[in-house]
Structure 1
């Protein structure tokens, strides 16, 4: 199988996000429940600031490349599915996960909220993994 440069760049962003989301799911989010209340607030603020430098370029690149490939393909069905899935990641991150992180900051520490973050995040793990797999086949 051969890829255009744009398809290869898209695949690289997909792989980057899949690796990142699996690390977040299996290592970072579960670790939230093991902090002391006094140190959690400071660490979580640092985490949110620093993870943005990794997540935002990957997500923005994925969105732009997905949109370009959708347009370039003449709106082929697989590209439409990809674009919708990528859009759902933007919406869920902006409307659900970012506010959940903000709530964790307000409460300064809350184990049920940490558990909710971890359990609901499987949605993003599955969707980003599907996006990557769809772009491999």
Structure 2
């Protein structure tokens, strides 16, 4: 079980973990040992509450495919156990972050002094540019 919150968790049978060979530098060890973890999690077929599913599917995240499958590849560590823990932690963080609702922005007007400062800066900048012109008699 992968705990998401006090009431919500993901059963292990819904998470597919495969050991694959890692990419990149590492020499013989990388070429012969399958230490990277390829995690797949189907959002639509999961037992997550509908609110979680909707928020996850609406996210514009490159780890979530158009079919609603989360794909995470963990290969930062040399040991498979550490990569497995890293992949699960990243899935947990992704699901948790989907449930955080962003604050609504309250529109505000610029203050009188900030408007005056802006106009003064524009005037000063215009004078600097005017000073670059060719002097005519």
TM-score by length of 2: 0.28
Counting helix residues as a fraction of each chain, which structure ranks higher? 1
Q: In terms of Rg, which structure is larger?
A: 2
Counting strand residues as a fraction of each chain, which structure ranks higher? 2
TM-score by length of 1: 0.28
